[in-house]
Amino acid sequence: MKKQYSNNQYDRVNVFRIGLRLFVNFSTFNVLYLQIDESICIQRQLFIFCSRDNKTMAKIISFISRKGGTGKTTNAINLATTLHSLGHKICLIETDTNYTLNTLRQMELYREEVNKKDLFEILGSVDDQIADELHKIKSSNKLDFIIVDSAGKTTDEGIKKLAMESSAIIIPTSLTQNDLLVTYQTVTDLTPAREINKNLKIIVLPNRIHSLTGSHTIYDALNDLDAHILQARVPQRMHFVNFSTISAEEQYEAVAHKILNEIG
């Protein structure tokens, strides 16, 4: 006897694989033969998969500082190429209207034989639009990480809106007095956004650190900041500055892993 089930009744059927045939012996009664409709099983499994997948959105990592020259672009592109080389789906957005990374990508594509489809996308935006654009891109659910290289002269409102959409803010800084003052001001400017976005993580990344500088010197200099100090450093080396938008710098991988551990 073949029995038809409604959609609600299928919810109560324990299906172990598509097309499962379940035989139930009721002692002296006839064997009940159930054949689960394959198309309905497929539809239900797709629905369950999509529902779970929609809960996972891209994490937004924004590089912010109140001035240029602190290492935002250098670290943003090194992090992007490294994560991409590790198999993550990446998109990088720059808000500096010079669009340095977009220009460099075009130059590299011209010089090298690379399939553009194998590369992560680099987009351009501006401060007063980036927050809305991030919300749309994040909702598309096609990426693991969105990395933002913000402009050096970002407005207070621009910083707040960007921080509201971000999972983490990374502030690169050297140990010079000028950079430390800028970093202190940047952390202070992020306070209003952190009060609203309770999950926001503010991370200070020691950047352009001399190889002879001890860890205690770094953390003593940054200890007064109301932010987490990354337990890693970007050394003062030319191969980090002369970056590529295509090839990952192998020595940046340790820094990338530390950042991922902090973001969770």
Task: Kindly state the percentage of the chain with pLDDT values over 90.
Answer: 60
For the stretch 165-177, pLDDT in tens is 999 999 999 999 9
Q: Tell me, what's the pLDDT at 32?
A: 33
Q: Tell me, what's the pLDDT at 17?
A: 35
Q: Is the pLDDT of residue 226 over 80?
A: yes
Degrees to nearest 5, angle at CA 184 with 178 and 186: 100
Residue 144: φ, ψ to 5°? -90, -40
Query: What average pLDDT does the structure give for the chain?
Result: 81
Higher-pLDDT residue of 216 and 141 is 216
Confidence band, pLDDT 50/70/90 cuts, at residue 238: confident
Q: Tell me, what's the pLDDT at 121?
A: 96
What is the pTM assigned to this prediction?
0.78
Q: Is the pLDDT of residue 97 over 70?
A: yes
For the stretch 115-129, pLDDT in tens is 888 999 999 999 889
* Mean pLDDT along residues 67-92: 95
* Mean pLDDT along residues 224-228: 95
Residue 5 CB partners (closer than 8 Å, separation 6+):
13, 37
Q: Tell me, what's the pLDDT at 232?
A: 95
Gap between the terminal Cα atoms of the chain: 53
For the record, the structure tokens of 23 come out as 């035989």
Q: Tell me, what's the pLDDT at 239?
A: 67
Q: Is the pLDDT of residue 214 over 80?
A: yes
* Mean pLDDT along residues 98-106: 92
Degrees to nearest 5, angle at CA 60 with 116 and 80: 40
Higher-pLDDT residue of 113 and 145 is 145
Helix (H, G, I), strand (E, B) or coil at 263: helix
Q: Is the pLDDT of residue 85 over 50?
A: yes
* Mean pLDDT along residues 68-92: 95
Lowest mean pLDDT among 36-45, 74-83, 111-120, 255-264: 36-45
For the stretch 18-66, pLDDT in tens is 333 333 343 333 333 333 333 333 333 333 333 334 447 899 999 999 9
Helix (H, G, I), strand (E, B) or coil at 184: helix
Which structural domains are found in the chain, ordered by start?
A: 7-53 (no CATH), 56-263 (3.40.50.300)
